[in-house]
Amino acid sequence: MQIALLTSTFSPAYGGLERYQYNLARQLVRQDCRVTVFTRQGTRDPADPWKVVPVPPRCTIPLHRHVHLAAAFRRRLRDTHYDCVLANLPYQPCDVHRAGGGVNAFWYPLKVRELGLHYWFSHQLPKYRSALKLERQVYNPANVGFQIANSNFVKTQIIRHYGFPAERIAVIANGIDFSFFNHNWCARQKSGLREKMGFARQDLVILCIANNFKRKGVVTLVKALDLTRSAGRHQLLVVGRGKPFTDHPRVRFLGHQQDIRPYYALADCLVLPTLYDPCANATLEAMACGLVPVTSPTNGASEFIQHGHNGFIMESWRDARGLARILDQLKARPADRREMAGHAADSVSHLTLARNADLVLKICRKAAQSQSSAAGFQGGKGPCRPGAPDANHQAKDTL
């Protein structure tokens, strides 16, 4: 099967979404698919069994960058033929769109309500208005055959705000690379890594992974530290891009880390009091590594958490007092914490990369065969028209 995979950034080293797409491409190739990645910015190892086609937009200023990028993809795909066009960014027409970034029609009002009225004024700018216009096109059932949501949380938003048919939305959780994010490996490394970082055995080491400190609720987490009873034994590591905003003695800002696994190994819990995450990869990866997850209900990954059994779900992303109580409970009951960590690892053990690719490929095949595909709505004239691929369809300017 010929699949065109569209994405803004394609690199396993950048973040959760990029790592997911890289793994997806690898798994699709293993299932005898021919994958071509179209991307604004990407990397390719010579050993990678796919082609990467750079698609630079004609305009790179932030004002309408997403619109110009979609137009650049449309031009690049013109006169090419694939069995399925799978878009991991706002783009139409396509056979399958993966809503990995969530729904702006839900996110923008939430941001205004929680972060301040000044965001309402910023959302009146052309940049945001054009983003919503593009989103309306992407979630128009006349333009896209099938949607893939990574949580029921996102599926509900798509239906509520755009009325996309529920039967054409597949909920497929992200796959986890268990050869990399592994509970057993982390358990073997824990004591040595903790000693290297200078943590005492009785410390509760809290990990937060965030590239946007405000949206991910890092401020709430720092407040919770000061509200805990045994505050001196709580230590927080913040991994991700962002400017440190406090010199708190028990908070370490570590910046971006190429290899996140050692931090999963030495920590006891992952805390992500996020304002909005469609389904945070960090939460699922941490569970696979045997960390107790603590997150907010506005994280789609909370669907994998049974409160008090394999993790904790906060009342809200702002609930610092409630979070402090959870941290105290984790600190006071190390045996329960270890049992809960085992439950967390078990509860995501089925989320393999192969399973994810199987489900995605099933939707791609369904889209290619269905009259509900974007190509069908385009009357067979769209850039993603299914059909027999031309032998020379692959672009020449590949990486």
* pLDDT value of position 61: 63
- Are 294 and 323 in contact by the 8 Å Cβ rule? The answer is yes
- pLDDT tens track, the chain, 399 positions: 999 999 988 877 666 677 788 889 989 999 999 999 999 887 777 788 889 999 988 776 655 677 888 889 999 998 888 999 999 989 999 999 999 889 999 999 999 999 999 999 989 988 889 889 999 999 999 999 999 999 999 999 999 999 999 999 999 999 999 999 999 999 999 999 999 999 998 999 999 999 999 999 999 999 999 999 876 789 999 999 989 999 999 999 999 998 999 999 999 999 999 999 999 999 999 999 999 999 999 999 999 999 999 999 999 999 999 999 999 999 999 999 999 999 999 999 999 999 999 999 999 999 998 754 444 443 333 444 433 333 333 333 444
Angle at 301 between CA 318 and CA 295, to 5 degrees: 25
**DSSP 8-state code for residue 397:** S
Could you tell me which residues come within 8 angstroms of residue 263 by beta carbon, excluding any fewer than 6 positions away? 207, 209, 237, 239, 254, 257
> Which CATH superfamily includes the segment(s) 183-347?
Glycogen Phosphorylase B; (3.40.50.2000)
Query: Which tokens is 278 given?
Result: 């469609």
Question: Scanning the structure block, which residue is given the tokens 């991910």?
Answer: 216
* pLDDT value of position 127: 84
* pLDDT value of position 14: 63
* pLDDT value of position 372: 45
**DSSP 8-state code for residue 45:** -
Beta bridge partners of 171: 149
> Which CATH superfamily includes the segment(s) 2-175+352-377?
Glycogen Phosphorylase B; (3.40.50.2000)
CATH 3.40.50.2000 in the chain is located at: 2-175+352-377, 183-347
Query: What string of DSSP letters covers 199-267?
Result: --TT-EEEEEE-S-TTTTTHHHHHHHHHHSTTGGGEEEEEESSS------TTEEEEE--S--HHHHHH-
Query: Which tokens is 1 given?
Result: 């099967």
Question: Scanning the structure block, which residue is given the tokens 């690379």?
Answer: 177
- Are 148 and 154 in contact by the 8 Å Cβ rule? The answer is no
How many CA atoms does the CB half-sphere of 280 hold within 13 Å? 28
* pLDDT value of position 351: 96
